[in-house]
A and B are shown apart, each in its own frame.
Chain A
Amino acid sequence: MRKLQSLVAAAVAAALLAGCGGAASPPASSADASSAPAGGSGETLVVYTNSNGEGRGEWLTAKAAEAGFTIEIVGAGGADATNKLIAEKNNPIADVAFGLNNMYFSQIKAEDALEPYTPSWAGEVDKELGDGETYWPLVKQAILLGYNSDKISKDSAPQDWTDLWTKDEFKDRYERVTGLGTATAQLVFAGILSRYRDDSGDLGISDEGWQQVEQYFQNGSPAVAKTDLFARIASGEVDMGQMPSSIIAEREKSFKVNVDTVIPSVGVPLAVEQIALVKGTGKKEQAQKFIDWFGSADVQGAFAQQFNSMPVNKSAEAKANPEVVDFFADLKQQDIDWEFVQENMGAWVEKIELEYMT
């Protein structure tokens, strides 16, 4: 037995030696950037985001380098990035996270993986859009119901989500989701279910609310994997469905369709992309400087100009696409109790997946 133990010890030692030999050093986590000027310390900041697609990651890396920050972007979907940040909380790898919406960030905050920090631009944004403590708003995105405006006139178009399943002419003409893994889908349901809040109902929602969900799934045309809603609109399979505001212009052009959006009387849910400092980062000061830089009116304005987004920073609005700014100026925001939504979203998704999705 003793022999066995020493053998185990030897094997462990050998494997470790092999492991260490093969491993590059972990990202320098002990060093700090206290003496560095604004950026420029040469240290690499690890930035987690779900907003790196369509060239955003590259754009940001290049701009940050100009400003003296070396950053490494790690892209992941919203849910993946959230789970990763939570799983790594005991030994964080990221220094900064951005792009996730308030729902995701409040989950991460609940797991105590964020460090409170008030950026220098905190006064230029609407605090209500973030939590005013750990995560701060960058970009606004509206979650909309869009329809093929070549086929359906404004008067005959649906006025609200609920029309889709209550009026016969829209049944089977709208695309419904086949999974609730995406932020957009979750926000659509946050918008619908919030209207039926009933503390005595199942998961805080009245029976009527759950009936709406049931109807939504029964009467919609299921989404097709790897086929964009716009492709289905173009081919006439469906006429309407959910879409985040930022993608509409580009998809209309690609698929040669025209889409108009519905603004229900209760308003539309807004997804607000945020930025936050990761708790336990070894490069805190550098990370804070990066947050100050990225959220500033200048950078947000340039970002909005480049990617057609709607900045939260009021001083950045001037640089954004005027059409986008006008759209958001007229937009009625749905009043949603995000705390209530965040508390229940996990259970809602589970219930919908198990009971209503067919």
Chain B
Amino acid sequence: MSSASVRGMVRSPFVLVVGVVLTWFIAAFLVWPNVNVLMATFFPDGSFSGRAAEKLFSSQRAMKALGNSFLLAVALSITVNLVGIFIVLVTHYFRIRGSRILFLGYASTFIYGGIVLAAGYKFIYGDKGIVTSLLVKVFPGMDPGWFSGFFAVLVVMTFATTTNHMLFVANALKGIDYQTIEAARNLGASTWTILRRIVLPMLKPTLFAVTILSFLTGLGALSAPQVLGGRDFQTITPMILTFTNSPTSRDLAALLAVILGLATILMLAVMSRLEKGGTYFSVSKVSSELQKQEITNPAANIAVHVLAYLLFAVYTLPVVLIVLYSFADGAAIQTGQLALGNLTLDNYVRVLTQQSGLRPFIVSVVYSALAALIAVGGLLFVARLLQKYKNWVATAFEYLLHIPWILPSALLALGLIISYDHPNPLVGGAVLTGTTVILLIAFVTVKIPFTLRMLKASFASVNSSLEEAAAIMGARTLYVFRRILLPLVLPAAAAITALNFNSLLDDYDTAIFLAHPLVQPLGLVIKANTDGAEGVAGVANTFVYTVLLMVITGVTMYLVYGRSSRGKSRKKRLPAVPPASPVPGPGLPGTPVSTEDAAQPAAPVR
């Protein structure tokens, strides 16, 4: 690409400003703290020892757990895609009866996760679960402990992590030009062929991005294996957490984390390579909105309907039970005995009348909202540039921005503390520990890789000819960005913001080390009220907090995503093309015209 040269890049003032701020941010908050913590970990006395590697590689348990984590990561990358694509097609592509209800069911993963989700599945399929009890009645010889081990973990995590598909793949699907599909149909293509040759190829950048996320989720699996893995399927994350907490074993934790991190980066490299060179946007001049497809084969139609509603049940049952159990007492939750007569509001009264009251909720909402907005706002520019300029500088930046994926958040937090507990020139001589900014910085940094991946994928599906047209008419870089690109990626950006916000709400790992003592976020309060050592009420509190968080995150998703997607469908296909500006642009160095795109085939159909 002629536009991709490094020299072309630095000629644009826009690129320069973004580049300089980015360089500083990466150096100050991604590289320096983590280099510090890794140095302190691997070179405690100034000399390196191979101790950590030796210990780890000779430990059968560590190797098995590591193997399990990788197995889960690979398996999840496949299963999440299968289920994810299916539910996206069912809700957005095919004409299915009750697809709105189905959507709500599948969307339940937007609002909860973690240990409670695993517990929810256990209530249903575990040895004392509802479904298991039914099955045992039908098949008396059945093992009530059937739902455990790798299979159970994979099933639960597959259904728990289709959130990204529902948001981003669905969003990308809406961007497909219907005329291409109609044309293919007129040429005699079957439903299946259209799916395989037109629809799925257009979704590729987004699918690659969500595949990386699924892989990462599998590698970092924690609660599902703990609850359902049993003796035979334990993963590496619990070990990493234990070792992170023990100063003398922290090198093992760091080494394990780096191994997982490198695997993620490798995955990223493979996906980037696969993604390269394709055209993932509609190039038709007058594109039209996607219309839902009828499944013509009646047998297939029935099968898809049945499957869709089965999945709906799988998705919604745990949520229903979690909400019900949140009204039961802790002993009932743990012994799995639910009696409708024993449901009371006691748990909610206890949680909501605490001395701290609503304050931690507000603190968390403010922190999470700020961090989510800053991450997405800042990275909009960065993702755009990385997507546009494909040279070694851009690639280097891109990989550096993934550093937070490599280390567990506790180590990131420790790195920030040891780097900024004294006046540091990188931040103008300020001391950051003990301030309220340091947690915000940590929140922003941990969300960078996810935000960047998803934003980049969404920029990749924007038709560059719109931008070129605007540039030819004299629009300046920022104007093009604001009036053309932004409206097109806004739905995705809003969804990312909402997801970031949701995931930060109950953060504990970062906040425990960095929170200002007078401004403590929700995660710390939840931990204090739900830790194993906190009595029977602790488990009940976990459920109450989960339901309360479901409410907050549900509202967020509705406000941000629900509304923006509807707004989008109204204005769809009418990107705000700026009125031809009579002001002659200054040579428009920032928007070099791509020549290669024009040479691409007219549709991504090969």
Contact = CB atoms under 8 A, between A and B. Distances in A.
Interface stretch (B274-282, B450-458, B534-542, B562-570): B534-542
Interface of B is mostly: helix
A353 B238 CA distance: 10
B537 A225 contact: no
A224 B128 CA distance: 14
A254 B537 CA distance: 9
B34 to A, nearest CB: 14
B242 A7 contact: no
B529 A355 contact: no
A75 B246 contact: no
A61 interface: yes
Interface string B328-348: 011100111000000000000
Contacts of A24: 435-436, 516, 518-519
A12 B515 CA distance: 23
Contact of B24 (A15, A46, A251): A15
B428 A13 contact: yes
Interface in A336-358: 346-347, 349-350, 353-355, 357-358
Contact of B535 (A20, A54, A224, A234): A54
A266 to B, nearest CB: 25
A87 interface: yes
Interface residues of A, number: 73
Contacts, number: 202
A79 B509 CA distance: 12
Of B115, B241, B247, B430, most A-chain CB atoms within 10 Å = B247
B448 to A, nearest CB: 15
A86 B247 contact: yes
A181 B417 contact: no
A4 B20 contact: yes
Interface string B516-544: 11111000100111011111111100100
A79 B245 contact: yes
B10 to A, nearest CB: 9
A267 interface: no
A53 B528 contact: yes
A94 B515 CA distance: 12
Given A53-B534, A91-B431, A23 B238 contact: no
Given A11-B20, A26-B434, A75 B252 contact: no
Given A87-B418, A231-B334, A222 B231 contact: yes
A303 to B, nearest CB: 17
A227 B436 CA distance: 36
B534 A255 contact: no
A83 B247 CA distance: 8
A68 interface: no
A349 B246 contact: yes
A99 to B, nearest CB: 11
Contact of A346 (B247, B440, B528): B247
B431 A54 contact: no
Contacts of A107: 247
A57 B529 CA distance: 11
A227 B335 CA distance: 8
Of B246, B248, B252, B434, most A-chain CB atoms within 10 Å = B246
Contacts of B242: 179-181, 349, 353
15 contacts: A7-B16, A15-B21, A27-B516, A44-B517, A54-B534, A58-B355, A74-B515, A88-B433, A182-B532, A225-B223, A225-B226, A226-B532, A227-B334, A346-B247, A349-B249
Given A87-B513, A353-B61, 13 more contacts: A12-B427, A15-B24, A72-B517, A83-B513, A90-B421, A90-B422, A91-B421, A225-B223, A250-B536, A255-B334, A353-B242, A353-B249, A355-B61
Which 5 pairs show the lowest CB-CB distances between chains A and B? A346-B248, A231-B334, A354-B59, A225-B226, A254-B536
